[in-house]
Structure 1
Amino acid sequence: MLKKLSASGMTVISSMHAPTHAYRYADKVVALKQGRVCACVRPEEVITEENIEQIYGVRA
C-alpha cells in the first residue's frame, strides 16, 4: 500500500523504529536521536556502521 501511494506522487510520512523497514519502503530517511535530526539520507545510506553507532549508541 505504501508503494502504491508513493508511486501515485503522494508524500507518505511514517515513523519506524527498525531501519530495515525504512530501507525497504522509503525513498528518503530522516533519522532522529533524542528529538534531533542526525541523518537525512537515502535508505541505503542510513544503514552504515557510523550511523548505527551514532543513532543507537552501539557498534555495528
Structure 2
Amino acid sequence: MLKKLSASGMTVISSMHAPTHAYRYADKVVALKQGRVCACVRPEEVITEENIEQIYGVRARVLPEYRAVVLDVTR
C-alpha cells in the first residue's frame, strides 16, 4: 500500500528504529542522534557500520548485497 502511494507521487513518512527496514524500503533516511538530525540522505549513504555504532551504540555488519544490517548485541 505504501509503495502504491509513493508511486502515485504522494510523500510517505514512516518512523522506524530498525535500520534494515529503512535500508530496504526508504528512498531517503533522516537519521537522528539524541534528537538532532545527523543525516538526510539515501539509505546506503548513512547506513554504515560506523554510523550504526555512533547512533545506536552497538556494532553492526552492513550487508549491502541483502540490504540488511546485523546488530552485534553480544557485548
TM-score, normalised with respect to structure 2: 0.71
How many residue pairs get matched? 60
Equivalent residues of 1:2, 1:25 under 8 A apart: no
Displacement after TM superposition at 1:57 (Å): 1.8
Seq. identity, % = 100
- Superposition misfits of 4+ residues, deviation over 6 angstroms: none
In terms of fraction of residues, the more strand-rich structure is 2
In the alignment, which residue of structure 2 is the partner of 1:10? Answer: 10
Unaligned runs of 5+ residues in structure 2 are: 61-75
CA RMSD of aligned residues (A): 1.1
For each residue in 1:35-60, what CA deviation from the matched residue of structure 2 results, as whole angstroms up to 9, or x when unmatched?
A: 10112110112221121112112233
Between structure 1 and structure 2, the one with the greater Rg is 2
Give the unaligned 5+ runs of structure 1: none
